[in-house]
Structure 1
Amino acid sequence: MSVKTIKYIVIIICSLVTLGAILAFSIEHTFTPSDKKDKKYDCEITQKWRLPKILGEVSGIAWLSENEIACVQDEDGIIFIYHLKADKIIEQIPFAGSGDYEGIAIYNNDAYVMRSDGVIYEILRFRESDKKISKLQTPFSAKNNMETLVLDAKNQHLITAPKDRDLEDDSFKGLYHIPLDTKKMNRQPTIRINMNDVAFKSYLKKKVYRTFSPSDVAIHPKTGQYYVLEGINPKLVILDKNGTILKVYELDKKSFAQPEGITFSPDGTLYISTEGKGGDAAIFKVVLDK
């Protein structure tokens, strides 16, 4: 074999190796909805935003306005405004010192942040220089491990639920309403999520209150249904307006390592955030199979 022939063969091999590498890179980095869909989990991730390190423990999210989502994380008393289109934090709003902040709700120009011991921070005019900050004490304490907070805009109530034990009974997790006018929570829940419901049959634990551990809740803007998230064993439970469980979606741990935030845009688009447990913290746009 001549030297010229050998050189020609080497060139062909190098070209094929290069082409293979380009194709592999392209396949790995190309995003299509079908890449992110697993029929086992009945949900599809249609878009993902990797969050910066400072939001590595993002614990609650709330829709703010077009392309803006308000976030809190469980270490610092700061509201972070994340811009989806710009793909970055555009504003940081301090409201308190260090603490375990878990849920956030927005009502007009005011923000409400849940601390895990049941204290709610009310930050009036939270994006203005003259904001006013006060604390609301609910009947809950650290033993209840509070992580959820959402605004019921129709009734002008905040809604929360315990992650661990309920106030008096381990057999259910209640959704409790806090009217924005009185700020006084009724100790009787508006809705009870029964831990012994047939929908939880495969998840039932010996300590029954651990069967389902809410990490956040959202209300669908069009149907009024409750979407209750769990981060420990990632799942999403959908309840109708009366509290009947309609469906339980299991979430893939590979994508949703520790989902602790959920919110809707006004048109009903669903967003779920997950902490960076073993990877990047992220916000996902999600479509559920019905």
Structure 2
Amino acid sequence: MKKSTIFIGLFIAVLIGIGVIGFAKVNKASAHITEGSDNYTISETWELPKELDEISGIVWIDHQTIACVQDETGMIYIYNLDERAITEEIPFAGNGDYEGIALHNNDLYVMQSDGLLYEVKNWNATNKIVTSHQTGFDSSHNMESLVYSIKDSALLTAPKDKDLEDDFKGLYKIALSSKNVDTNSPAYKIEMNAAALKPYRNKKRYKTFNPSEIAVHPTTHDIYVLEGKNPKLLIMDSNGVLKTVFKLDKINFPQPEGMTFSDQGDLYISNESANGPASIHLVEFNK
């Protein structure tokens, strides 16, 4: 056999080998980004306008209306799901890092990442009153979550990064009367060594789960906690006992940071813009 024929054969074999390895790597990468997609069903999606590319928090208002905030602008955007459009803009502050939004009666609350809480009283009236309150948290905690809990008669929030100890992330009550938090006494704890979090455990224990948002189911009062960094959804019962953790794929949830329930218990999750427009999904998780 000619040497040239041998070399050609070897060259072809090497090319085939490279192709097989490359195909396996592509399949592995594809499986990684789609992992978790069988945990839920998306029944409807809303692509959001450019103003909400950095959407960081959402809260159900009524009927088909959701209030939204985004990272950089001190503006509340009222978004109508039926019209698929922003119908009102409510300024409350200058530029900042705004991460969570909650509703109680006619008042809206917005959480800044350094723990500063904004209160917009009578948000839908002409005589809105905006005040700000120090909660006791600071920028080292990186606050991204906010929700009103009927059961607790208070707002709930959680540090995304560091808490008192690395072994847990606490959910803390913000009293509506004082707007203060007892940062030494969490109302609920997410234990970083919980069995349901074992697949996600990090060498730096506090990085095992990083809360980006909290929502409370209107009838069961189950507590839903979202992580956007490594997308997953953690569910606790009304007493704070961890029930389950769902991994979320990065195709439909590239950066989920907002979450809210409708009055009927429908779950909405928002994503910041990533390789496409920002979005809101209507999601149902497997029981």
Instruction: Sort the TM-score into its range (normalised by shorter chain).
Output: 0.7 to 0.9
What SS does the corresponding residue of 1:41 show, helix, strand or coil?
helix
1:181 partner letter = S
Deviations 1:1-29 (A, max 9, x none): xxxxxxxxxxxxxxxxxxxxxxxxxxxxx
Runs (5+) with no aligned partner, structure 1: 1-36
- Give the direction of change, closer, same or farther, for the CA distance of 1:164–1:39 in structure 2 (3 Å limit): closer
Answering whether residue 140 of structure 2 is matched by residue 181 of structure 1, we say no
Higher relative contact order, chain-length normalized (CA < 8 Å, sep 6+): 2
Alpha-carbon distance, 1:40 to partner? 4.9
Map residues 235-250 of structure 1 onto 2, 5 A cutoff: 235-250=232-247
Answering whether residue 66 of structure 2 is matched by residue 69 of structure 1, we say yes
Over the aligned positions, Cα root-mean-square deviation in angstroms equals 1.3
Deviations 1:42-101 (A, max 9, x none): 100000000001100100000001000000000000000000000000000000000000
Give yes or no for contact 1:41–1:250 (8 Å, CA) kept in 2: no
Give me the whole-angstrom Cα distance separating, in 2, the residues matched to 1:161 and 1:146: 7
Q: How many pairs does the alignment contain?
A: 253
Answering whether residue 193 of structure 2 is matched by residue 201 of structure 1, we say no
1:270 to 249, 264, 267: 267
- Matched residue, 2:5: none
Give yes or no for contact 2:134–2:179 (8 Å, CA) kept in 1: no
Deviations 1:241-284 (A, max 9, x none): 22221111111110111000000001110000010122210000
What SS does the corresponding residue of 2:196 show, helix, strand or coil?
helix
- Matched residue, 1:147: 144
Answering whether residue 252 of structure 2 is matched by residue 255 of structure 1, we say yes
Give me the whole-angstrom Cα distance separating, in 1, the residues matched to 2:64 and 2:147: 19
What's the % identity of the aligned pairs? 51
What SS does the corresponding residue of 1:272 show, helix, strand or coil?
strand
Give me the whole-angstrom Cα distance separating, in 1, the residues matched to 2:149 and 2:115: 18
Map residues 81-160 of structure 1 onto 2, 5 A cutoff: 81-160=78-157
Alpha-carbon distance, 1:39 to partner? 7.5
Alpha-carbon distance, 1:185 to partner? 1.4
What SS does the corresponding residue of 1:243 show, helix, strand or coil?
coil
TM-score (norm 1): 0.85
1:218 to 209, 215, 218: 215
1:44 partner letter = T
What SS does the corresponding residue of 1:200 show, helix, strand or coil?
helix
Give yes or no for contact 1:111–1:123 (8 Å, CA) kept in 2: yes
Give me the whole-angstrom Cα distance separating, in 1, the residues matched to 2:227 and 2:67: 20
1:151 partner letter = Y
- Matched residue, 1:44: 41
TM-score (norm 2): 0.86
